[in-house]
């Protein structure tokens, strides 16, 4: 049997602000942006070259959902963006104004740095060592 995660939902305060960040700043591709009626949209973004897992951007529709924006994992790193060129992507994201929480560091598994999206979600930008890939 073969399975994979297709979508991970990220609750955001506003669709267009989220699209502007993920596509404009992060360089993701807008895969879908379909009206569903009642102010709801089906918005899917994916990093360049992504074949399987994508992000479903879901606008918070209730007070409870709004309270979860930026804290869907209780303050832990939520998403891990793997790259084939850490220095290139760190420099590009830095120029785009991404908020990094620390300086890049070398770990036994690769190069890593933690950053936040404008909604408060914590991410790892990560280039694994060849033995970890």
Domain containing 7 — which CATH number?
3.10.180.10
Q: Which of 63, 91, 115 is the last residue of a domain?
A: 63
In a domain, 70, yes or no: no
Indicate the number of domains in the chain: 2
State which residues form the domain around 8: 1-63
Same domain assignment for residues 83 and 57? no
> Is 59:15 a contact under the CB 8 Å cutoff?
yes
Same domain assignment for residues 1 and 59? yes
Same domain assignment for residues 30 and 81? no
Q: Which residue, 10, 19, 21, 16, is CA-closest to 118?
A: 21
In a domain, 13, yes or no: yes
> Is 100:113 a contact under the CB 8 Å cutoff?
yes
Mean pLDDT of the region 2-13: 94
Which of the pair, 51 or 12, is modelled with greater confidence? 12
> Is 57:10 a contact under the CB 8 Å cutoff?
yes
Same domain assignment for residues 9 and 35? yes
pLDDT (tens digit per residue) in 86-122: 999 999 999 999 999 999 999 999 999 999 999 999 9
């Amino acid at each position: 049997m073969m399975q994979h995660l297709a979508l991970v939902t990220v609750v955001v305060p506003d669709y267009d602000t989220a699209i502007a960040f993920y596509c404009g700043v992060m360089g993701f591709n807008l895969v879908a942006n379909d009206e569903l009626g009642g102010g709801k949209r089906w918005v899917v973004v994916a990093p360049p070259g992504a074949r399987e897992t994508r992000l479903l951007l879901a606008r918070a529709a209730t007070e409870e959902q709004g309270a979860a924006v930026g804290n869907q994992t209780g303050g832990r790193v939520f998403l891990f963006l793997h790259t084939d060129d850490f220095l290139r992507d760190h420099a590009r994201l830095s120029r785009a104004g991404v908020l990094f929480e620390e300086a890049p560091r070398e770990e036994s598994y690769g190069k890593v740095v933690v950053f936040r999206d404008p909604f408060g979600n914590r991410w790892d930008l990560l280039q694994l060592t060849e033995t970890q890939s």
